[in-house]
A and B are shown apart, each in its own frame.
Chain A
Amino acid sequence: MLHIVKTEWLKIQKYRAFWWVMAITALTYPGINYMGLAIYNQAGGKDNKQRDLVKMLVGNPFSFPETWHTTAYFSSWFIFIPAIVVIMLITNEYTYKTNRQNIIDGWSRKDFMVAKLMDVIMLSALVTVLYAVVALSIGLSNSPAEKADTKWQQAYYIGLFALQSFSQLSLAFLTGFLFRKSFIALAVFSFYFIIAEPVAVKVLKYKYHNEIGRFFPREISDRLLPVPAFVGKFNEDAYKASLNEIQYHVYYTLILLAITWMFCFWLNNRRDL
């Protein structure tokens, strides 16, 4: 296992595109959250009374423990950036035919897929650490002293964020694995992820009053991170329901992940390279 990880590191460490995209990811996570914090701080304008009123209505989404949830939600919007890296890492292998060379040089087909699984796990871990650092630093700088005890209360969102990232990056991997060409895979993934599925879920829900959309590949893990508490205040019942659904979507996500990777391993073992 260690030699597989080492080999993948050799492929990645001098891959400039990887570092560029990771740098963009590293900027977007703090960027979106600090932007949210700035908007929150300026809400209500210069009038102290109005500001207090806003804060009374929405609470403080950027202080502990809520910052874990709020930051996870905003950061999750940008999962498509590391998804680009995942798609590039797998489609590069097909473009350069190095997937064949890896097998010729002595990897089994299973080793190759384990290597790619490790890439996705590593990227999921990286973005999760990035999110956790942003959430912690925002929480530390925006929480009153009396909230120190609640610091880790919602830290389970780290696990939910990691699971969602892993699930959605696995879908990106599946797209690259099936389509093999980077431009086609990126186009298909972007269209499905940003347009097709969200529209389909909303149309099914609001036009046909059908909740089947919650079992769509992206939506299954999207529901691990519901809207933050301050948004939930506009519809308390729906918010509570979405929080209750999380536990079920953890299981659905795990099942989807198992199906996705089992299918990839199975297909890679069967098809000609």
Chain B
Amino acid sequence: MSVLSLQGISKSYGRIRALDNLSFDVPEGCIFGVLGPNGSGKTTLLSIVLDVLKADNGQFRWFGNPGSPEQRKKIGSLLETPNFYHYLSAANNLKITHSISGRGGATEIDHVLQKVSLYERRNSRFSSYSLGMKQRLAVAAALLGNPSVLVLDEPTNGLDPVGIAEIRELMLELNRNGHTIIMASHLLDEVEKVCTHVAILKKGTLLTTGPVEDILVDEDIIEISAANPEALVAAMKKWGIAQSVSVKDNRVYLVFPKGTARPDEINRYCFSQGIVLEHLVIKKKRLEAKFFELTNN
């Protein structure tokens, strides 16, 4: 079952087309990354599904039903920036979150503040917080009441490396416990480390969507090396089994159609040609490379 389903969502700001006929589904229990360069429409998309912006065309469904306030109460969300009353403390701001959404309670406010390491500063005014602390509070608000779905827009914004690692671990832990997480980010490394599914946007259009493994692995790459790289390249070209053969930094790269690479056969063939391999690795394409490939950057 899809947690979120988008059908033909379009949105324009004057003459600028921010989203163009966007359709995809977010499966239950996944960590879904919405990727795209700046201005690709990630935040606009999340704003529409959270009813902050109105779509010009198209519709979206949460759990199979049209979006409604009752559904939003069940979703923990962080959109763009941490939005809190500057004159109130963290604890009092979360009381407002609780009062509106009905999620959590007094004891749970303390619990989520401990989870994001803000408990000691729970009575300090929001205006006295650093950028990272504000972001932590926004994550705490999203976690309040342990919602089954979280929508997080750039959740690691402003966090230090420790904070980034903590949030990453938190997302993985939540996902292991069955939560669905939809996150927008331009940090490809982060997305690659935590997301199970992605949708890649560029200038408001959907370039591709699906499980991360399927998107990254559209071809098999084998990296090999030997004492004499020239002889190795010559042997591989002569054999003609790979789609392409290239050399970089004394390493030879063999590209095969997806699912057809046989490392054992390559090793056997090289040995039969009198070449002893020093190195043989099946390479996965990095999300960064795929992203640049898709977005032509």
Q: Which of B79, B83, B88 has the most C-beta atoms of chain A within 10 angstroms of its own C-beta?
A: B83
Cβ-based interface call for B100 (8 A): yes
Compute how far the CA of A36 lies from the CA of B96 in the bound complex, rounded to whole angstroms.
Answer: 44
Closest beta carbon of chain B to A13's beta carbon, Å: 9
Is there contact, CB below 8 Å, between B84 and A101?
A: yes
Q: What is the size, in residues, of chain A's interface with B at 8 Å between Cβ atoms?
A: 27
Please, what's the 1-or-0 string for A204-231, where 1 marks a CB less than 8 Å from any CB in chain B? 0000000000000000000000000000
With a cutoff of 8 Å between Cβ atoms, the chain B residues found around residue A102 in the complex are 100
Tell me the nearest residue of chain A to B127, going by C-beta.
A96
Binary CB contact string for chain B from 235 to 249 against chain A (1 if under 8 A, 0 otherwise): 000000000000000
| Contact pick for A6, options B51, B77, B86, B99, CB 8 Å | B99
**Closest CB in chain B relative to A123 CB, distance in Å:** 18
Q: By the criterion CB–CB under 8 Å, are A103 and B51 in contact?
A: yes
Chain A binding site: helix, strand, loop or mixed by DSSP?
A: helix
Establish whether residues A92 and B85, one from each chain, have CB atoms under 8 Å apart when the complex forms.
Answer: yes
Q: Is B228 an interface residue (CB 8 A)?
A: no
User: Is A149 part of the contact surface with B, judged by Cβ < 8 Å?
Assistant: no
Fill in one digit per residue for B27-61: 1 if any A CB lies within 8 Å of its CB, else 0. Answer: 00000000000000000000100111110000000
The answer to whether A98 and B83 have CB atoms under 8 Å apart is yes
Q: How far is the CA of A17 from the CA of B88 in the complex (A)?
A: 12
Which residues 105-151 of B have a CB within 8 angstroms of A? 141
Q: Of B66-74, B164-172, B200-208, B270-278, which binds chain A?
A: B66-74
Contact of B257 with A by CB under 8 A: no
What residue of chain A has the Cβ atom nearest to residue B126's Cβ?
A: A96
Distance (whole angstroms) from the CB of B52 to the closest CB of chain A: 5
Nearest Cβ distance between residue B99 and chain A, in whole angstroms?
Answer: 4
Can you list 12 contacts pairing A with B, beta carbon distance less than 8 Å? A3-B99, A7-B99, A7-B100, A10-B96, A97-B83, A100-B52, A104-B52, A105-B100, A105-B101, A107-B69, A270-B54, A273-B53
| B residues with CB within 8 A of A | 47, 50-54, 69-70, 72-73, 77, 79, 81, 83-89, 92, 95-97, 99-102, 141
Query: Which residues of A line the B interface, CB within 8 A?
Result: 3, 6-7, 10-11, 14-17, 92, 96-98, 100-109, 111, 270, 272-273
